[in-house]
Structures are given as C-alpha cells and as structure tokens.
Amino acid sequence: MSAQTSPLADAYPHRHLLGIEGLQPHEILALLDRAESAVEISRQVEKKKAVLRGRTQINLFFEASTRTQSSFEIAGKRLGADVMNMSVSSSSVKKGETLIDTAATLNAMHPDIIVVRHHAAGAVHLLAQKVGCSVINAGDGAHEHPTQALLDALTIRRHKGKIARLTVAICGDILHSRVARSNIILLNALGARVKVVAPSTLLPNGIRQMGVEVCATMREGLADADIVMMLRLQRERMAGAFIPSVREYFRYYGLDAEKLSAARPDALVMHPGPMNRGVEIDPEIADGPQSLIREQVEMGVAVRMAVLEALSAHLPNR
C-alpha cells in the first residue's frame, strides 16, 4: 500500500532528495516553509514528533562530517525514527566491499530512509537505483549538497525576508565545492543574483553557464552583496598547487573587515563549515555581528526535519 497524502507530500512529490537540480521553485519553497515549523518545534522543551515512528533511518557517511551527520541524526530522532549511524571506518568497506554491495546489504535490513555522503560525484544517485527505500544526498564529491543549500536559503530568508533579487557573493574554492553548486542552482531558481569570486585556478570550467557573474577580486565580487558566503579551501581534494600559499590566499581572498566593507552595510556573512580560520575567513568576522554561521547550524536541523517529513509521506505503509 502506498503513501498518505498531505499538503507537503503534494508539494514535494519525490521519493528521494538527490540534488537541488531538477527541483521546481515551489518544491523548494514548500520545504523551506515546512522547515519554519520545524524551527519552532526544535525550540520547544518537548521536541518529539511521531512522523517517522516505526521507521528506520540509516546515516551512511563515507566521508567525515560533524554538522550534516549529527543534524540528520537529531532530525530523525525528533521525528520519532530509529536512527543508525553506520561507521564506514569500522565497516566492511574497509575490507574492499563495493558501494553497491554495501547498499544491497543495508537494503536487506529494510531501512526506510538512507542518508548518504560519498566522496564520488554521482555515487548517491547510483545507490538510489539499487535500494528500495528513500535516499537523501548528504554530499557527493564536488557535485551536490542539497540540504546545505536549503538550510542556507532558510537562513537568508529569515533575515532578509526573501531570496529573489538579493545579491549573493559566493567566495573561495568554487571548483571543489558541492555547496557552491547546490547554492547556485537554488539561488538562481528563486531569483537571486549570484556572483562567484575566486582565483581562476579555483573555478570550474563552464561556471558562467550556471548563470553566475564571475569576479576575480573580492572588491568587485562583494560590491552590492547582501550575502557573503565563504567557502572552505578544500586542500584534501587538491592534487597539485592551486594557490601559491595559504598566506597569499588569505591576503587576496580571505574575508576580513576591509574586504567586507565593499559589501552592503547590512550584508550578512555565511560559511557552511567546517571553517579554516585565518585561511578563508578572519576569526573576527566569523564571530562578529554580521555572521550567521551558528544560525546556519540551527537551520540545518530544521531543514533536515522538513526533508525527512516530506519523504516520509511517500514511504510505503506496509
């Protein structure tokens, strides 16, 4: 038997969340609206709901995570799911088991939702074809990180009251960033103006075709910016020299008070984390009055509750 219908299920008619690409603006907005309610639930003393009661959620992380894994665990538990965190470092993946065999093994245990992070772009889409349950992409290589873009949008909308016609400057290691890619797709879908700022070595081919303005300097990129979104320099994904030195990088692309003064006076600063203080952002800015970085973490739980609830409506009832 299949799933119940509800306004959220009607607004988000998908079994999985594999990326922002392909989502309609009204589907994104339905998730953000639902996340607003989840913020309120999370701020109450009594946080437990029964939306996922009896359901099993597996968090399968092949890459390190603090924010995404813990917030998916908290979100699942707040909705009543039984949540299992699968530690890849102590699993049979270490003995050479393939992603597909791991997926088939977990599928045999009848989970309802699998949340996956993997170092290879496309791995989560492949896994979704091999299992019978719902799959959520928690970050696949440099491809997509859809719940990060949703939580960023929620954070922006709560402060600016809208996304459309805002100017958002995304700065730093665009080349290796799934966060940048998902944010560019989402912000364009909702009508924002998106600028990217990076040295040419940290820009992917074809970036202009994604509907962004490309800027080589922070001064140019931050002009008129309502939101300044900094990205981590992903040195673990760099084979070879992409920047002359960290010191040079901070000098030209690290966000400090002087560079931030090029943005609008009410500009807000974001960073998906983990942050490298003194590499892409000055600690005084990260902890300063314009920073939304801690609030992004709170919104992460709310958005993941909304996504889990949206998918739960499409789970089979037996």
Q: Name the residues that contact ligand CP, by CB under 6 A.
A: 65-68, 139, 145, 148, 272-274
**Shortest approach of ligand CP to residue 7 CB, angstroms?**
29
Q: Decide: 234 and 173 in contact? Cβ < 8 Å.
A: yes
DSSP state of 89: G
Of 151 and 163, CB closest to ligand CP = 151
CA pair distance 290, 21, nearest whole angstrom: 30
**Shortest approach of ligand CP to residue 296 CB, angstroms?**
8
Specify which residues 83 forms β-bridges with.
Answer: 57
Please name which of 209, 220, 216, 219 lies closest in space to residue 181, comparing C-alpha atoms.
209
Q: Decide: 315 and 3 in contact? Cβ < 8 Å.
A: yes
**Shortest approach of ligand CP to residue 272 CB, angstroms?**
4
**Shortest approach of ligand CP to residue 145 CB, angstroms?**
6
**Shortest approach of ligand CP to residue 86 CB, angstroms?**
15
Helix (H) or strand (E) holding 113: strand 113-118
Of 194 and 229, CB closest to ligand CP = 229
CA pair distance 15, 313, nearest whole angstrom: 9
End-to-end CA distance of the chain: 6
Please name which of 24, 121, 119 lies closest in space to residue 64, comparing C-alpha atoms.
119
CA pair distance 138, 127, nearest whole angstrom: 13
Of 72 and 250, CB closest to ligand CP = 72
**Shortest approach of ligand CP to residue 129 CB, angstroms?**
24
CA pair distance 312, 15, nearest whole angstrom: 9
Please name which of 144, 151, 138 lies closest in space to residue 63, comparing C-alpha atoms.
138
Of 68 and 102, CB closest to ligand CP = 68
Of 87 and 261, CB closest to ligand CP = 87
What sign does the CA torsion over 290, 292, 294, 298 have?
Answer: positive
Of 276 and 313, CB closest to ligand CP = 276
Of 47 and 67, CB closest to ligand CP = 67
**Shortest approach of ligand CP to residue 101 CB, angstroms?**
25
